[in-house]
Chains A and B, each alone.
Chain A
């Protein structure tokens, strides 16, 4: 990386510099340059140390971490499509079909979201912020592949305007914008966001219909309604289950999580405690399963806790959404509480309310609301502790 950076600095840089041939294109070059590398901006004013990781860099890392899930999601869409209509397809055909379905979603998400952001920047007269870069990638990944594009566009508009701009733009939002987009679509167009018809595209190939006995329900949906699923925990771990585009593969998510943790972009405290919360709730359910009210619920409660963690959007939500630095807790202790409750509530909601199998979305949005409260109590406790220490010191002195 360093070598490439040096090469560009010494060889490409002069081409665009003032007085050189390509001077006109400096803004474009600069835009891409700062997109890829940390600009060498010196600190002005009093001396202070500036971290090389700026907002653009943070956003880029998260997007890079999302690429495995995106690629896997594309392939998974195609795989399930050809499975459902009963055609043997090569790996390449599957991937191509998925790409044709998913890329328009990404384009619409970015187009609408960035368009609104730019519009607000122009009206409000402030600098263009990079805030939407990650949300724009997250939103298509947490939607079902069959969602009509205009609904996606509307959800994006809602998330950016009501979720972010009314609060003052990037860094001011109280909710995770991507999840808000999903929640909007979920409540506005429930038939497109849940059930057993939306997760697998069956109409993309001309003249073909779904084969007999085909069921398009997600693993979670099957558990919630019948208490059994045709997908094993291993299927869910690898990701060959129906679901929102990017949420299915725990392996791909773990690759992303690895990068986020290695670079320190995402908080390991939140991830760890959220998984712990899920495990605890899963174990509680396992323990109380014999006392469940209905047979289906009993079967769902008896699902081993580790299988709960790999199904549905739990892993995706915990890794990419719960760790959102803006809407999450800011204090270290608060992060443990915040993460733990996300994991805990996710599993609870999905088991107790079959209408909302995707508990992780509601759990994270709920904890987004609670994060400032958690922080408040953590800070108050710290103040009290220090006051006591001070009182002790003055008493002994």
Chain B
């Protein structure tokens, strides 16, 4: 059985390596970048990585830091696993992937602690949980294991951006409506607030995770209304 599997792996490798040379940003490669932004968005279409999207989108700044962290882990992880794809024994591939992602996440964690300590405290456990982010494992398993380094890199970047823009969009609305700020700067005029004789009040519901889920839901709604390809029969 193992023999057969190995032979299959070899055959696959041959196939992959013998592909004709193509330009760096061929149409296919551009698709790797563009697809995850809309048609195949990891959050709104594949519904992966929802957990962190709900947990750290209260404010824009942590969401941005989180996005950059995930971008780094995904791009680097995809490249490393793609480099090693011919040497990873099939049976322990998940463990190898986990080791790669975990070391990258440990790296990110240390960098965050060193340079943006307060955000790192705010993100707390969710930095560590990047390891279990389904998007990363999913891309490693489904793409990096069977594709060349450059393609895997593009795929990682594309998916990370797909993840990032949803995160930023959700946290934009949550911070604006929930705290009246953007990146910590007061956006809603102070005079509007009830304490200063105005009429306005921040929406406390926006700070709670359920509203993040509803915001993601509304983004999915708008996306499907605009992109009829996504509507299931």
CA of A166 to CA of B203, assembled, Å: 22
Asked if residues A188 and B205 are in contact (CB atoms below 8 Å), the reply is yes
B221 touches A166 (CB 8 A): yes
Decide if B227 is an interface residue (CB 8 Å cutoff): no
State how many angstroms separate the Cβ of B222 from the closest Cβ of chain A: 12
Q: Closest chain A residue to B203 by CB distance? A: A188
**A187 in contact with B208 given A162-B214, A166-B221 (CB within 8 Å):** yes
Majority SS of interface residues in chain A? helix
B199 touches A (CB below 8 Å): yes
Nearest chain B CB to A10's CB is how many angstroms away?
Answer: 51
Q: Mark B205-221, 1 if CB is under 8 A from A, else 0.
A: 11010000010010001
Question: Does B86 reach chain A (CB closer than 8 Å)?
Answer: no
Contacts of A187 in B (CB 8 A): 204-205, 208
Known: A148-B199, A150-B199, A162-B214. A190 touches B204 (CB 8 A): yes
Return the contact of B204 from the options A148, A150, A166, A188 (Cβ within 8 A).
Answer: A188
A150 CB contacts on chain B under 8 angstroms: 199
Contact B199 A189 (CB under 8 A): no
Task: Check A189/B221 contact, CB under 8 A, given A148-B199, A150-B199.
Answer: no
| Chain A residues within an 8 Å CB radius of B214 | 162
Residues of B close to A191: CB separation below 8 A: 201
CA distance A150 to B221 in the complex (A): 25
* A184 interfacial contact with B, CB 8 Å: yes
State the CA gap A184–B221 with chains docked (Å). 20
| Cβ of A314 under 8 Å from chain B | no
In the complex, A148 Cα to B217 Cα: how many Å? 27
Q: Roughly how many angstroms separate A189 CA and B200 CA in the complex, as a whole number?
A: 11
Residues of B within 8 A of A151 (CB): 201
Q: Is A192 an interface residue (CB 8 A)?
A: yes
Chain A residue contacts of B217, Cβ below 8 A: 166
Q: Are A192 and B201 in contact, CB atoms less than 8 angstroms apart? A: yes
Whose C-beta in chain A lies nearest to the C-beta of B178?
A: A188
Contacts of A189 on B, CB cut-off 8 Å? 201, 203-204
Expressed in whole angstroms, the Cα–Cα distance for A187 and B205 within the complex equals: 5
Task: Please name the residue on chain B nearest to A149 by beta carbon.
Answer: B199
Q: A159 → chain B, closest Cβ, in Å?
A: 12
Which positions in B face A, CB cutoff 8 Å? 199, 201, 203-206, 208, 214, 217, 221
Known: A188-B206, A189-B201, A192-B201. 18 other contacts (CB 8 A): A148-B199, A148-B201, A150-B199, A151-B201, A162-B214, A166-B217, A166-B221, A184-B205, A187-B204, A187-B205, A187-B208, A188-B203, A188-B204, A188-B205, A189-B203, A189-B204, A190-B204, A191-B201
